[in-house]
Every structure is written in structure tokens, then in C-alpha cells.
Amino acid sequence: MKIGILTGGGDCPGLNAVIRGVVKTAIQQYKMDVVGIIDGYYGLVNNKVMKLTLEDVSGIMPRGGTILGTTNICNPFNYFAVVNGKKVYSDVSDKVIENIKKNDIDVMIAIGGDGTLAIAHNFFKKGVPVVGIPKTIDNDLFSTDVTFGFDTAILTATEAIDKIHTTAESHHRAMIIEVMGRNAGWIALHSGIAGGAHIILIPEIPFDYDAVIKKIYERKENGKHFSIIVIAEGAKPTGGDVVVKKIVEDGTEPRRLGGIGNKVGDEIERMTGIETRVTTLGHIQRGGSPSPFDRILATRFGAEAVALIAKKEFGKMVSLRTPEIVSIPLEEAIGKQRLVPLDSGYIKAARLIGISFGDK
């Protein structure tokens, strides 16, 4: 049996650990062959395939990114191209299936977030044997306790908050750190608590500017002349909307969020006169060597995906149900976001120690 493996969507710490887990398990335990698809679904459309051996994955576990490359602007069922100067969208999924057959690939492993896995599910419905592996730093995928890449992202964000903490205290400033997460506040919530933030603004709890200012003034009255504010990129004020940085028409996620940190910073300065600085962490949250937790989880996901293939259990996604790795149908895993519940123990603990969510 020959496995084809691809990484789709945004890059993420731990992707190489998954690839390594798949290749080592497939070759050593089941005598299967493995080929890598270059640049996600784009590689399937354009027949960009490379053989993966044990030597190819030796030493790649600590490396960030993905040795296969990735893209988040290629959907074979709605493929974008420019023809005679005009944007054209077409369904090239049959061409993908032809390329899969040309390369004698028996089953595909798709590693990615909701968009990548939804495409994989569509191919499964067209008869392609598929197994999915969940991946996102945002931790917003339904039906898994956690995704690899998230732990590394919050570690990166927490380290940044620690460094900003000292300069904020020295200069008596309000310091804002904008983190990723799209419509979910997991990165902001976890890194904010770990980094000692005083205010955390997340998409699940619309905030009020007066409540944010109230918290800053409360700290000043208690002799604390600086404030650390962690903001998720998808946070929004009550009655308002998210800040959209850019629209990418051919992307799997057309709205690129970003800029809420600067908007909140401007309002704080206008309303208080307190010098406010904004740091947007951006893609450094996606980069770097994966944490031990992410390396282990990614390895477990990769190994279990191959075990599913050996049992011919296709159309499924591996999932963490702590402490076990289980499998669920792909159709149950896609189309629903895992947001921070308002009764989350993390939110309760944060409130108990005095962190404001800008709603009171």
C-alpha cells in the first residue's frame, strides 16, 4: 500500500513531527510506501510528488514549518486561476483524482485545519480513501481536546508578554499584545493568564471600552502605573465587528483579521492620555521549534493515522480524547468551531485573580 501525505493551510509547529510519525510507522511497522505531496492541494493539482524515506525524516522533528510546503489558497473544488487576464474558478477535483491514480497512491493523509479537512472529506465522498489529522495553532477544531501547534504558540506568546511586562512597568505604559486565533480566544486566554495580563479580550466576550479603562484606572489607584492587555485578533467591542486587515478572495479563509490591537490602543490613549504601545505577534506564533508536548502529540497522531489505514478505516480523523488517541468520522469534525465556552474554568480562574475581560 502507498500513502500520500500533504500539509494544508497555515504552517504550524509539529507538522514535521507528524510527517516523521507517519513515515516511520508506515515503513517500519507495515512495510508501506509513503510519498509527500508538495505544497498541499496545489501539489495534487499539479502532480508535485516526492518519495519519503526514513532518511528524509531523520532529524526533522525539532524543525518548525513543514518539509512538504503548504498553501491556504488552493481548493481543487473551487480552483482559482487567471485566464486571459480574468479570474476563473473551476472544479479540478477529477484532475486531482487522476494524479492520485498516476502515482499509485492508495490512500491520502491530509493534515490541516477545518478547510483542509473539509476538502479531504469532499474527496472521500468522491471515492478517495482519506484519513485526516487535525492541525491549527488556534485550537478551534471541533472534536479534539487540543491540536498540536497550540502549545508552542502559547509558549511563544507568553515569552513575548514576559518581555513586554518589564518595559511596561519601567515606562508606566499600557501595553497591548495582539495574538492570533481567528474567531477563538484560546491563545489569548492561555497566554494572557500565563503571562500575567491584567486585561484579556477574546472574541467570545464582546468588550466595552469603559470597562477596559475602568480596570486601568483601578490599577493606577492601587499604585500600579502600567497595564498589560492581551487581545485576540478576533476580539470586538459590544455592538461592533471584527477588524479585517485584508480580503483574500481565493483563500480558504477570505477575511484576514488583524488591527484590533491598534484600534484599542488608540482609544485608550484618547480616553486616558496614557501612553499606549501595541505589539502584534503575527506569524512568529507559527514558527520555531515545537514544544515537547506538540512533538509527542504530533507523533501520536501520525502513528495512529497509519494504524487506521492498516485497518482500512477511511473517512476518519484522529482525535485526542485525553489521554487516548481515538478516531471520529471526518463529517463530524468539520464545519464547527471549538470556541472558548463562557463557563470555562480558565475564564473563572482568571476572573477570580482579578483579570478583566472588558465586560464588567
- Domains of the chain, each with CATH number or no CATH: 2-148+288-333 (3.40.50.450), 152-286+341-352 (3.40.50.460)
In the annotation, is 359 catalytic? no
Which pLDDT value is given to residue 47?
95
Which pLDDT value is given to residue 125?
96
Which pLDDT value is given to residue 59?
95
Which pLDDT value is given to residue 243?
82
Identify which has the larger pLDDT, 170 or 255. Answer: 170
Dihedral of the alpha carbons of 139, 264, 199, 135, in degrees to the nearest 10: 10
> What is the reported pTM?
0.91
Which pLDDT value is given to residue 182?
87
Which pLDDT value is given to residue 52?
97
What totals of helices (H) and strands (E) does the chain contain, helices first?
12, 15
C-alpha cell at 58: 531523520
Residue 39 has pLDDT above 70, yes or no: yes
Q: Are the beta carbons of 332 and 143 closer than 8 angstroms?
A: yes
C-alpha cell at 212: 477596559
Mean pLDDT of the chain: 93
C-alpha cell at 180: 492570533
Q: Which of 98, 168, 116, 84 is nearest to 6 (CA)?
A: 116
Other CB atoms within 10 A of residue 119 CB = 27
Which pLDDT value is given to residue 252?
61
Residue 103 has pLDDT above 90, yes or no: yes
- Residue pLDDT, tens place only, 274-315: 889 999 998 898 989 999 999 999 999 999 999 999 999 999
Question: What residues contact residue 97 under an 8 Å CB cut-off, 6+ apart?
Answer: 123, 126, 127, 128
Residue 266: pLDDT band with limits 50, 70, 90? very high
For 74, 123, 340, the CA distances from 314, given in Å and listed in that order, are 23, 11, 30
Q: List residues bridging with 37 in a β-sheet.
A: 49
- Three-state SS for 241? coil
Question: What residues contact residue 171 under an 8 Å CB cut-off, 6+ apart?
Answer: 226, 275
Which pLDDT value is given to residue 23?
98
Which pLDDT value is given to residue 259?
87
Q: What percent of the chain has pLDDT over 70?
A: 98
**Residue of 39, 138, 151, 294 marked catalytic:** 138
Residue 70 has pLDDT above 80, yes or no: yes
The dihedral through the CA atoms of 89, 90, 93, 99 has a sign that is negative
- Average confidence (pLDDT) over 176-197: 95
- Residue pLDDT, tens place only, 202-252: 999 999 999 999 999 999 999 998 999 999 999 999 988 888 877 666 656
> What single-letter amino acid sits at 271?
M
